Amino acid sequence: MNSSNLRDRSCTPQHGAPLARAAAEALLTEIPGWELDPDAVTIRRQFKFGNYYETLAFVNALAWIVHHEDHHPTLEVSYNRCTVRFSTHSVKGLSENDFICAAKINALRGAAT
């Protein structure tokens, strides 16, 4: 699976066990710029911007995407940065939905920025 495949997918209700670390690490290779936390429970990425307006424009676009997918991250927003964290509460860890949304957000901002 590559990031374009992840971007083209939609989130689905998740139940059961979270992804194993090996599966999370494999999916992580498809979403440049994202990091896996040490416990493999969360993925995160920090996005940087030129000013507050650009930061909020990104947050608003991100909000539209995650609302449409019904999969909401934790956001930390400041003047010129936004840190995005995904985890799936229903599985108490990571699910494929976290990686789908991360790929869509990478497409929004650009994977390298």
Could you tell me the residue ranges of all domains in the chain? 3-8+19-107
Looking at residue 103, its pLDDT comes to 97
Is pLDDT at 2 greater than 80 in this prediction? no
Looking at residue 111, its pLDDT comes to 53
What pTM, to 2 d.p., does this model score? 0.92
**Band of pLDDT at residue 91, cut at 50, 70 and 90:** very high
Is pLDDT at 53 greater than 80 in this prediction? yes
Looking at residue 109, its pLDDT comes to 81
Is pLDDT at 104 greater than 80 in this prediction? yes
**Contact, 41 vs 94, CB < 8 A?**
yes
In 6-109 the beta strands, taken as DSSP E runs, fall at: 35-36, 43-48, 74-78, 81-86
Is pLDDT at 110 greater than 80 in this prediction? no
**Band of pLDDT at residue 112, cut at 50, 70 and 90:** very low
Tell me, what amino acid is at 80? N
The fold of the 3-8+19-107 domain, in CATH, is Gyrase A; domain 2 (3.30.1360)
Q: What is the DSSP letter of 10?
A: -
